Amino acid sequence: MICIIDYGVGNIKSVQNAFDRLGYESKLSCRKEDIEACSHIVLPGVGAFRDAVANLQKSGLVDCLTENVQRGKPLLGICLGMQLLFTKSYEDGVYDGLDFIQGEIVPFQLQDAEKKVPHMGWNELVCHRENPICRGVVEGEQVYFVHSYYAQMANDADLIYSAEYEIDVPAVVNHGNVYGMQFHPEKSSQTGEQLLKNFVELIK
């Protein structure tokens, strides 16, 4: 079963609905017992990095997530959830992340006046390396983004897909059993559903 972490940040029901459409059993929970019992963990999120980290800490989930990742359980961070996977964020201050993937979350500083922040809407995926998460997804397929900050990767080997928005925005990242998607796969039609399916089937 998939455990979708319910820690008070964003509308997570749409993520569960996507797994329902794919025929996978999932549960919304912040209980450590459910996280321990599941096969896959999904960390969604919409909103501010500071609030999200505070909620994870208040719920005692940081240690729980760390222990499960160290045991090799697949973890997927979505949107803000992906940003939480990184070392540090500079969103309205400086805040420590989960440090599962090395890098920092920084604001867009765009020169092109026609490009607005947040980066919102459909954008094409550019492939940087092959990965099981890519199965059935062709370079150039589009996914749906909504974000004002992006990840500066410390290690290019952790980058799977990017999207061009004046700069190369990391779109799908991976380090070991930890994956992140900056866009919303649950809102990205068949491409997003294929990526979610690939994540679930990583250990099948």
Question: What is the β-pairing status of strands 40-43 and 75-78?
Answer: parallel
- Distance, in Å, from the CA atom of 18 to the CA atom of 25, rounded to the nearest integer, reads 11
Of 3, 30, 38, 79, catalytic:
79
- Distance, in Å, from the CA atom of 11 to the CA atom of 198, rounded to the nearest integer, reads 23
Q: Is 186 a catalytic residue?
A: yes
Of 40, 127, 141, 186, catalytic:
186
Q: Is 184 a catalytic residue?
A: yes
Of 40, 119, 128, 184, catalytic:
184
Of the candidates 140, 158, 8, which has an alpha carbon nearest to the alpha carbon of residue 86?
A: 158
Q: Is 193 a catalytic residue?
A: no
- Contact status, residue 3 vs residue 29, Cβ threshold 8 Å: yes
Which CB contacts under 8 angstroms, 24+ apart, belong to 71-74? 72/176, 72/177, 73/38, 73/39, 73/40, 73/41, 73/177, 74/39, 74/40, 74/41, 74/177, 74/178, 74/179, 74/199, 74/202, 74/203
Catalytic residues, by residue number, are: 79, 184, 186
